[in-house]
Amino acid sequence: MVNVADGGPGPLLGQVHHFTKFNPGKSPYAQDRYLNEGHRLYGVLNQRLEDHKFIVDDYSMVDIAVWPWISRFEWQTIDMNLYPNIVRWYREIADRPAVQSGYQVPKPAGDIPMPEAIES
């Protein structure tokens, strides 16, 4: 499962960051392509988390590897309201003291971005 973390979210969401955060509008085709793939990846993860508390049942290196990529949902212009299972998983991990202190390394990065409450 660690290969899932290395082979999907890292490279793919890195491209989403590149085109939506750092070079918006420079290549509309690439921006749309990677954003659509980002939504596809979020959909797969959301479905997996529908009946699993964590990606591989128990909190593991896979969650630790994937969470930082999801924590940049604002950079990715992803509406987390579309992915309620990811929101639950994300908040569960964000509430861990080790994650909160690690988020501030190597320098304070501000508050962990939190998705808005999902409307019922």
Q: Are 75 and 13 in contact (CB under 8 A)?
A: no
Bridge partners of 54, per DSSP, are 57
Measured CA to CA, the distance from residue 43 to residue 100 in angstroms comes to 26
Q: What is the pLDDT of residues 4-50, one digit of tens each?
A: 555 678 788 888 888 888 888 899 999 999 999 999 999 999 999 99
Which band of pLDDT confidence, cut at 50, 70 and 90, is reported for residue 117?
low
pLDDT, one tens digit per residue, over 60-81 is 999 999 999 999 999 889 999 9
The pLDDT, as a whole number, for residue 7 is: 60
103 compared with 95, residue with greater pLDDT: 95
Query: Please, are residues 113 and 73 in contact by the beta-carbon 8 Å criterion?
Result: yes
Q: Return the pLDDT at 10.
A: 78
Tell me: pLDDT of 115 over 70: yes
- Alpha-carbon span 96 to 94, nearest angstrom: 6
Structure tokens at 105: 């390394």
Before 108, cis peptide (omega within 30)?
Answer: no
Query: Does the 2-102 domain belong in CATH 2.40.160.20?
Result: no
Give me the pLDDT at residue 113, please: 83
**Alpha carbon distance 44, 13 (integer Å):** 14
